[in-house]
Structure 1
Amino acid sequence: MGRLFYGNATQPIEMPDRLLAHIKVVTATKLRRGESFTLSWRHPEDVPGGRSTIWLQPSIPLRFVFSTPEPELLDPAFLKDLANAANSSGGLSVDLNMPVPVNDEVSTPQARVPVGARAA
C-alpha cells in the first residue's frame, strides 16, 4: 500500500501504489500550474468517519510514499479521467479500493539517472 502524507499530518492516507501513482501525476501537474483542488475519498469500514476531503494547493507539503521500488505503469485514459475530475467543481473523488484499469497503451516511466551519476 502506498501512503500520501498531507501537510504536517502524521497519519498518512493509504491507498494502492497504482492508484497513488496516478493521483501523484495529476496532483503534480495541477500544482505545477498553480491550480488548487480538492481530493475526496470514503474511509474504509475499519476507519471511523465516513469520508474525508483535503484541499491541495502548492503551499501545502505533500509526500508520496510507495511500497514498491519500481515505478507503476500509468494508464493514459485513467489519468485523463482523474485530471478531468480534478478540474471540475466537485474536485477529484476516488474510491481507495477501485481497480486502476490496465491499458495496452500504458505510459512507461522514464528512465531516470540519479543526480551526480556519470555517463559511462
Structure 2
Amino acid sequence: MGAFIYGGSTTIPIEDRALAHLQLVVYAKLRAHESFAFTWKDEQGVGDGHGSVWISPGVPIQFKYAGSRDPSVNREWLRVLRDLANQPTGLRVVPEPTGKD
C-alpha cells in the first residue's frame, strides 16, 4: 500500500497501481496550471469517514510507493480519472475499468 502525501501533513493510503494512475493525472493537471479537488474515503480500519483537499501548484506533493516496480498504465482508467478531475466533485479513486463489457 502506497501513500499520497499532500502538503507534508495529509497522508492518504492508496494501493500502488491506483496511485500510479493518480500521479499521472495530478501531474498533467498541475503542468497545465490547473487546480482541482481530490477526495477519498478512509480505509475501513480507520472508520467510515472521508476527506478532501484542494490540489494546486506550489503545494508539495509526494507519491510514496510500497513496491519497487512501476505498474503498467491503463489508458482507459487514466481517461476516467482525468474526466473526474475536471468535474466539480473532483478527482477520486474509482475501480479500474476492465475493458470486458
Q: TM-score of the superposition, structure 1-length normalised?
A: 0.75
Contact 2:25 2:78 in 1 (8 A): yes
**Which residue number in structure 2 is paired with residue 112 of structure 1?**
none
Residues 27-65 of structure 1 deviation map (CA, whole Å, 9 limit, x = unaligned): 000001000001101112221461100110111100101
Alpha-carbon RMSD? 1.6
Identity %: 32
Matched with 2:25 is 26
Higher Rg = 1
**Structure 2 segments unaligned to the other structure (5+ residues):** none
- Corresponding residue number in structure 2 for 1:6: 6
- 2:65 counterpart of 1:66: yes
The size of the alignment, in residue pairs, is: 99
SS at match of 1:69: coil
SS in 1 for 2:53: strand
Deviation at 1:93, TM superposition (A): 2.3
- Give the whole-Å Cα distance in 1 for the aligned partners of 2:36 and 2:30: 9
**SS of residue in 1 equivalent to 2:45:** coil
Q: Which runs of 5+ in 1 are unaligned?
A: 104-120
The ranges of structure 1 where at least 4 consecutive aligned residues each deviate by more than 4 angstroms after the TM superposition are none
TM-score by length of 2: 0.88
2:92 corresponding residue in structure 1 = 93
The 8 Å contact of residues 75 and 102 in structure 1, kept in 2 or not, is answered as no
Whole-Å separation in 2 of the counterparts to 1:66 and 1:102 = 23
